[in-house]
Amino acid sequence: MRTNYRINSGVRFEMLSQDQLQELFDGVLHVLENIGLEVHHDEGRDILKNAGAWVDGKRVRIPQYLVKRSLEMAPRSFTIYARDGNPKHDIHIGPGRAHFGPGPTPPNFIDVETQERRPYVKDDARIVATVVDALPNIDFCESLGTISDVHPDLAASYEFAEMFPNTSKPIVAWSYGWDDSEDIHKIAVAEAGGQDAFERRPNYVHYCEPLSPLVSTFEAVDKLIFAARHRVPLIFTPCPLAGGTAPVTAAGIIIQAAAESWMGLVLAQAIQPGVPFFMGGVLSVMDMNAMILSYGAPELALMMAGATELAHFAGLPLWQTGGCTDSKVLDEQASLEGSISCFFSALTGGDLCHDVGYTESGITGSILQTVMMDEAIGYSRRITRGIEVNEDTLATDTIHNVGPNGHYLYEEHTHRYFKTEFWYPNLCDRHNFEEWEAAGKTKMRDRVIERTRDILSSHKPSAIKPATKKAIKEILEAAEARVKDKQ
């Protein structure tokens, strides 16, 4: 029996002290209360005003108590459910749990067959969903592209309709506005078995983007209102560029991003108390020479870690970012940038880590990058799982049994643990030279491509209900009718 014994299960990572976090937290409250944000949505401003915000024209300032009350109202732990009831695909949000998935909407995609960069098309959403469904370390789905071969206003609706049947992992959906948000929600509700059933077991998350610096745009607020009213778990995530649309310092960009996100928190909680809310923000640097928002910069991992710690300090889950790169191809740079940010994200326990598979600074999606990062995440997760210490793992009995000069291969202890103590790669090659040579001298990228093709030719995601299939068809027909006269 142990007494006064403390267990660290997993790797402990802590960057900012409680004092520093308190200072950041106070900084956010200061921005919200004293500087305020512009909210470009009349109804949104009215709701905020009724909740106790100070409204002056478009400018909305939020007193501290209201922010704190909203933080209290939002849950820290909740579940996003697999549409098919497969518990392995449920996502349990809560302290110490990091989840990973691709990102939304780049215009281009790396073709799996040709590896050429080309516009993203409808079938790519099926490809991405199918591969995501099969990958062991990818937990949620986003499409990695904007469908270019449908009416532009319906890109999000078609995308969801294409992904939903092809993965039962929860989807993080985006949209342009109210109408396509509604299309998406109707599909999810059809499968869940009605709005009430959906509220008990939400099967997707909705994503809205306010504008930096300090603007809650009409679309972002409109989508938030839609999601909150229908009790869809939601993400309110700005994309500030350090030195461009946000302060150049990590601490400065973190408080600005948090203020931008928490405006959404306050609004969402005013509409629907207790609706699950992820603090968001893709925080990175604007490269001052290349003039891009860098998705491969070390500062991205660092700023995101700071934002994660602040979110957790405030009692919110975070929308993390990682597994992305500025490289244009599946190469060493892509692997380096993606892997380190995945590892760092895993360490922080940032709750949903997205953009796994972004390349070229978010301009091109690549499922091949996602597949490569699945390996990096598996690798990272083995490390963050840490070292288990107990009488059995200490293995003193086994050491005694084997004694000097023996070996451990026959030991029951070895047999019991070798599968769980060790991580086995899917893609990294550990064969000896001759075996590697005989197997065709493949490089990492060859194996990534092969694995992706294998999944696509063999993986069968669980089916949606026939009634949902019918509903999808009707929803898309109605959507087409809606945009018929718009060019």
Partner 1 sequence: MSEVLTSISNAIIQGKKDDIGELTQKALDEGQSAQDILYKGLMPGMDHVSDKFKAGDMFVPEVMRSARSMANSMKILKPLLIETGVAMIGKVLLGTVKGDLHDIGKNLVGMMCEGAGFEVKDLGISVEPEAFVEAVKEFEPDIVGMSALLTTTMRSMGDTIKALEEAGVRDRVKVMIGGAPVNQSFADKIGADAYAPDAAAASDVAKKLVKKS
Q: Considering the complex, state which of residue 363 and residue 456 has its C-beta at the smaller distance from partner 1.
A: 363
152 binds, among partner 1, ligand B12, none (CB under 5 to 8 A by kind): partner 1
Q: Taking the complex as a whole, how short is the minimal distance between the CB of residue 194 and ligand B12, in angstroms?
A: 27
Choose the one of partner 1, ligand B12, none that binds residue 247, judging by a C-beta under 5 to 8 angstroms depending on kind.
Answer: none
The entry of partner 1, ligand B12, none that residue 167 binds, CB within 5 to 8 Å by partner kind: none
CB nearer partner 1, residue 154 or residue 371: 154
Of 239, 297, 373, 471, the residue at the interface with ligand B12 (CB under 6 A) is 239
Q: Which of 70, 146, 166, 370 binds ligand B12 (CB under 6 A)?
A: 146
Asked if 348 touches ligand B12 (CB under 6 A), the answer is: no
Residue 289 binds which entry of ligand B12, partner 1, none, CB below 5-8 Å type-dependent: partner 1
Is the Cβ of residue 178 or residue 436 nearer to partner 1 in the bound state? Answer: 178
104 counts as binding ligand B12 under rule CB under 6 A = yes
Nearer to partner 1, 131 or 292 (CB): 292
Taking CA atoms, 197 is separated from 217, 230, 231, 268, 270, in Å, by: 31, 12, 11, 21, 23
CB of 446 to ligand B12, least distance (A): 27
Is residue 212 within the footprint of ligand B12 (CB under 6 A)? Answer: yes
Q: Is 293 in the site for ligand B12 (CB under 6 A)?
A: yes
Question: Which residue shows structure tokens 């209201």?
Answer: 66
Contact flag: residue 107 with ligand B12 (CB under 6 A): yes
Region at 188 (left for phi over 0; alpha for psi -120 to 50; beta for the rest):
alpha
Task: Specify the amino acid at residue 303.
Answer: M
Site size for ligand B12 (CB under 6 A) = 20
Q: How far apart are CA 304 and CA 309, in angstroms?
A: 9
Q: Does position 292 bind ligand B12 by CB under 6 A?
A: yes
Residues at the interface with partner 1 (CB under 8 A): 107, 146, 148, 152-153, 155, 176, 211, 217, 241, 243-245, 286, 288-289, 291, 363, 487
Tell me whether residue 10 or residue 177 sits nearer to partner 1 (CB atom): 177
- Residue with Cβ nearer ligand B12 (139 or 219): 219
**Do the beta carbons of residue 291 and residue 271 sit within 8 Å?**
no
Task: Determine phi and psi for 394, rounding to 5 degrees.
Answer: -65, -30
Q: Per CB under 6 A, which of residues 364..423 are in contact with ligand B12?
A: none
CB nearer to partner 1: pick between 124 and 374: 124
Is 98 one of the binding residues for ligand B12 (CB under 6 A)? Answer: no
Interaction partner, residue 104 (ligand B12, partner 1, none; CB < 5-8 Å by kind): ligand B12
Residue 296 interacting with ligand B12 (CB under 6 A)? no
Find the shortest distance in angstroms from Cβ 466 to ligand B12. Answer: 31
238 binds, among ligand B12, partner 1, none (CB under 5 to 8 A by kind): ligand B12
Residues at the site binding ligand B12, with contacts judged by CB under 6 A: 104-107, 146, 174, 209, 211-212, 219, 238-239, 241, 245, 291-293, 361-363
